Amino acid sequence: MPEQTSSRPLIVERRVVSDEWVLCESAEACPEGQPAIVPLEAWQASHQGPDIAPWLASDTEMTAALAKELEAAPLVAIDFPRFTDGRGYSIARLLRERYGYTGQIRAVGDVLIDQLFYMSRCGFDAFSLREDQEVEVALKALDTFSLSYQPGVDDPEPLFRRRQREPGKTEADPAMA
């Protein structure tokens, strides 16, 4: 599990913010009186109050029962142990689309600038960047593309459907093929 330090830039809803939460490998390792993000099992064993949030490993199986439990969480952190591990994208998308989670979903771990646009399309709204990532570049990366062909959490309709609604466009229109 990655360690979170105060030097990690945090972007929440496209704004750089200071991080009041500390990422702890166990509930016992957390400083007193500070909001803490702990591994899922520790969160489930705790009182699940407003100052403790779950940290999901990339291999967490997202079930309806777990999603129901997570409704009480002030935020859900999803770990990216390596930038090549994309399982966290699926967890976020399931939380948002299938289970209707409306709280903050935070990407933690090996979070790189070139992933942010795609993470946001899957439902992440907070990003704890790796220390070597530049915040200004990261904010611009969230707007890498002006249109997306595929549906996403941010726009559930594919581009071809949006274009079909444009005046003068029909399915028989060669530009629609």
Domain count of the chain?
2
pLDDT for res 49? 79
Contacts (Cβ under 8 Å, ≥6 apart) of 33: none
Q: Is residue 171 domain-resident?
A: yes
Mean of pLDDT over the chain: 88
**17 and 46: one domain?**
yes
Task: Report the distance separating Cα 90 and Cα 92, nearest Å.
Answer: 5
Task: Report the distance separating Cα 139 and Cα 116, nearest Å.
Answer: 9
**69 and 125: one domain?**
yes
**93 and 159: one domain?**
no
pLDDT for res 33? 83
pLDDT for res 5? 43
**133 and 168: one domain?**
no
Q: For residue 168, give its domain range.
A: 147-177
pLDDT for res 90? 96
Q: What is the mean pLDDT of each run of 10 residues along the chain (177 residues)?
A: 61 94 86 91 85 95 96 95 93 96 96 94 95 93 85 84 78 52
Give the domain CATH number at 93.
3.40.50
What predicted TM-score, i.e. pTM, was given to this entire model? 0.84
